[in-house]
Each structure stands twice: as C-alpha cells, then as structure tokens.
Structure 1
C-alpha cells in the first residue's frame, strides 16, 4: 500500500503553524519538528520560522516564562526540573534565567512546604530513615533543590 502524505505550500504550512502557535506558546524545537512532520524542506522551515518570529507567533522568552509559571503552578515542579526541561527544548541560558524570575520566592517555599506535608501524609513507612528517604526522593524527582529538600525533610521528620 502506498501512503501519500499531504503536501503543503509554504503559505498553507505557515497558516497551519500560525494556528498551532496561537493555540499555545511553542518553542522553536516543537515548531521545527511539526514542520518536518508536515514534510517541509529545510529552506521552507527556515522561511516559515523567520516569518513566525517576525509576526510574534514564536517567542522563546514568552514560551520560557509561561512554561516555568505553568509547570510550577500546576505540576508543582521545582526549579531544577523546570531548568532541565527548558534545556531539553534548547532554550537559551538567558531565557531560562528570565523564566525562573516568574516564580516568587515566597510562593516557591510555600509550595515546597505544602507538597512535602501532603506527601508525608501518604507515606506509611514507620522507619524514620526510610520515611526521610522516601520524602526526599519524591521531592528531588520533582526538581526541588537538594539543600531545600533535606532541610524540609529533617524539619518534618524528627
């Protein structure tokens, strides 16, 4: 069976990608992958990316800021996890630094406290060392800084 993929002109692809970017902030890596999936050649990809940037459909700083805010507020991720995910998406160090400023320090510590207390209620382990390890592993996995995690763990489990 011969499967035929739909061919797009540069104008058609641009319109499709504009709506893709308008729906939600996207990083360059996601847009390039989408264009390649659509079967666009590298020259067309570069042309479309340049047009999207010029028309403000694509903005790495805006993407990084909304990504950091969203992952912190909704998924309760720590800064380490947010930085790792942004680096995976090829976001510049400058934009990552700006994005992390979107997280208020007071809210950050309050969220860590709430998350640690909530998780501690779910841990049924009776051995103090194992309880500490389970809580610390959970918080570290979610990207919280190790010094904050160990401080919080020893504060809550005595």
Structure 2
C-alpha cells in the first residue's frame, strides 16, 4: 500500500443516482466531496435503455444519458469524481480510514455509502441474448411492459 494518506472532508462511495445526488448536496454545502465510482461508473442505470419511471423526464431518457447528466451536475458543483473501488473501511476511529483499490489510504470525516445493487443472473446464454427483449433484471422497473402477459420471475439470494 502507498505510504501516502490523503485526507478528504466527505467521501462518497457509489456513483448511481443516490451517489450523485449525495455529491450534489455535499458540494452545495461546501463539503468538497470526493466520489469513488465503484466498478460500474454510473451504476446499473448505465446498463438500462429507456427510463420512463423517474421524475423530471416526461418523455423518458436513456439510462446512460441520465447518469451522464447526474455526473455533469455533480462535477459542475465541485465534486471530485474518481474511478476506483473501495476495498476496506475502518470506522472505529475519526477520521475514518478507507482503502481504495487495495493500495491507496484515505481518511475522511464523513463517509456516505451508496453502493446500490447489482443484477443476479442465472448464467444462461439466453439471458444476454434476450436482455431487453423480454428478459429483464428488474421486475419492478420492467413489469409495466408486460401487462396482461404471462411472466416468470426467478429470484436469487446470496
């Protein structure tokens, strides 16, 4: 691990809608937020096509475009957005200790964790082939499109 430790006032872990929203509010409060994106910058919505169930987009919007707008607004207000994955945290002391990518140490007065969720696939070849064409990873998000049709829902638990 790098010998150098960086201090940040406000660390945000996660770059989905909640992460960027936290960044926008933290930046407006002059907390100088640093946001680490995680594995998928922009979260699950970057893997979504049409989003029409989010307020403020009366005609719908593509998931990637929506998350790009969130990112741009957070950056415009002063958020330092970085690609990286948080590999460990220690909340037993103040400031909190956080390790990025197993090699960089940060300390932070506040850590906001907004890591969202990720789809759990069965691993079938047909899942990817038909993703967006009848196969979905979110029954709540996409159930609307299948009104009046017979559907099957498969769940997974870790």
Fold match, TM over 0.5?
no
TM-score between both structures, scaled by the size of structure 2: 0.26
Q: Point out the structure with max Rg over C-alpha.
A: 1
Structure having the higher helix fraction is 1
Structure number with the bigger relative contact order (C-alpha 8 A, sep ≥ 6) is 2
Q: Which has the higher strand share?
A: 2
